[in-house]
Amino acid sequence: MLGAKISTLQNTMILMRKTLLLIALLAATGMVRAANPEAPVINKSEMVTPGKPADLQKLMKEFSARRDAILADREAFMNQLKTATVEQRKEILAKMQAQQKELVEAQRAIGRQIRDEMRKLKLASPAGR
């Protein structure tokens, strides 16, 4: 019983120390800011966040449509597998594997294009220079 009270008291003391440390850090940050009034103030309402370029949006829509078509085909193949013979199963599975490879290749390609486009945007922005 006494051990539980001591443990609770210790936890309370630790929490108080952490709170005081946080308050001290916040106060120190305020003092540093007050000591350096020339530091630029960033107004978030004035910040310009560039939207996605039209090309990037177009790429993403094309990929999404392609992915949806492949997934619809996959579902049709899965339904065909239920009633297929052994030979038909092999053919269907081969087609499914080919489509999976095509989807992965498309994902990699669009990933590269998106990274390149983002890199261009970063270099073109004033902060990226």
Asked whether residue 74 is assigned to any structural domain, the reply reads yes
Is the pTM here over 0.85, yes or no? no
Q: Are residues 86 and 65 in the same domain?
A: yes
Q: Are residues 26 and 78 in the same domain?
A: no
Structure token digits, residue 79: 């339904």
Q: Are residues 11 and 65 in the same domain?
A: no
Asked whether residue 20 is assigned to any structural domain, the reply reads yes
pLDDT at 19 over 50: yes
Q: Are residues 59 and 121 in the same domain?
A: yes
Asked whether residue 45 is assigned to any structural domain, the reply reads no
Q: Are residues 34 and 71 in the same domain?
A: no
d(CA 6, CA 12): 10
Count how many domains the chain has: 2
Asked whether residue 95 is assigned to any structural domain, the reply reads yes
CA nearest neighbour of 118 among 47, 48, 50, 61: 50
115 backbone dihedrals φ, ψ, rounded to 5°: -60, -45
Tens-digit pLDDT profile for residues 104-127: 888 888 888 888 888 888 887 777
Tens-digit pLDDT profile for residues 67-101: 888 889 889 989 998 999 999 999 999 998 998 89
**Residue 50: left if φ>0, alpha if ψ -120 to 50, beta else—which one?**
beta
Length of the chain measured in residues: 129
Residues of the domain holding 27 = 1-39
Asked whether residue 44 is assigned to any structural domain, the reply reads no
Q: Are residues 88 and 27 in the same domain?
A: no
Q: Are residues 34 and 62 in the same domain?
A: no
Q: Are residues 62 and 31 in the same domain?
A: no
Q: Are 103 and 67 in contact (CB under 8 A)?
A: yes
Q: Are residues 57 and 101 in the same domain?
A: yes
Asked whether residue 116 is assigned to any structural domain, the reply reads yes
Burial call 37-76: b when 16+ CB within 10 Å, e when fewer: eeeeeeeeeeeeeeeeeeebeebeeebeeeeeebeeeeee
